[in-house]
Amino acid sequence: MSYKEQFIKFMVSAGVLTFGDFVTKSGRKTPYFVNTGNYHTGRQAALLGEYYARCIVEHMEAGDIPKDVRVLFGPAYKGIPLCVTTAARLYSDYNMDIAYCFNRKEKKDHGEGGQMVGAKLRDGDKIIVTEDVITAGTAIRETLPLLMAQADVEVCSLIVSVDRMERGQGEKTAIQEIEEEFGIRTYPIVTVREVIDTLYNVPVDGKIVIDDEIRERMENYMQEYCVF
């Protein structure tokens, strides 16, 4: 079993990848949802960091991501544990000691003050952003002004759990729009197509989560919102 297949089944077992009736951040009604807020144990956090770290290293070795990245940034709130556990696994598994930081939703007006926690960003820093999922690209558009307000940094890549392969604000995918607009490439651990191919009529913990009905709903959703 590939690490991508392992990751997909891990998300299902953890209750992070679920199927039913949901509404995305962009307002689309979807038959499946990815909610990394449902991770809640030490084991899950360690495995999650392992998959994110493996994705980063894989793309570093392929030359897609520069090896001199200094900081992982996790947008509040779900990105916070992602950047922390990924940084930990990069160190423990690959001996890569990369700093991390994240933001507060509101600026702190006492103590050290400010909106950022963790590594202090410096001009010239190369940054990887860790997020849970990309649908319409809303989160990264909110994140970039925050980072640029701290220092003249370079956001070189975005790592997400699942690429939903959906249109962004126009007719291209959100990933394509983000790359064209900001020069940032997105690397998902898996795509929604890989999710369907892996889980269709395959039991996870003794249960079929993508049967004929769910698969049809997902395919119909993709025909309406996705770009192939």
Catalytic residue among 25, 110, 126, 172: 110
Query: CA–CA separation, 227 vs 174, rounded Å?
Result: 10
Q: Which of 94, 175, 180, 198 is nearest to 129 (CA)?
A: 175
Q: How far is CA 2 from CA 56, 93, 190, 191, in A?
A: 16, 18, 11, 14
110 in catalytic set: yes
Q: In whole angstroms, give the CA distance from residue 106 to residue 138.
A: 19
Q: Is 105 considered catalytic here? A: no
Q: How far is CA 139 from CA 134, 146, 164, in A?
A: 8, 11, 14
Catalytic residue among 25, 108, 120, 207: 108
Decide if 5 contacts 198 (C-beta within 8 A).
Answer: yes
Task: Give the C-alpha separation, 110 to 42, whole Å.
Answer: 31
- Positions annotated as catalytic residues are 108, 110
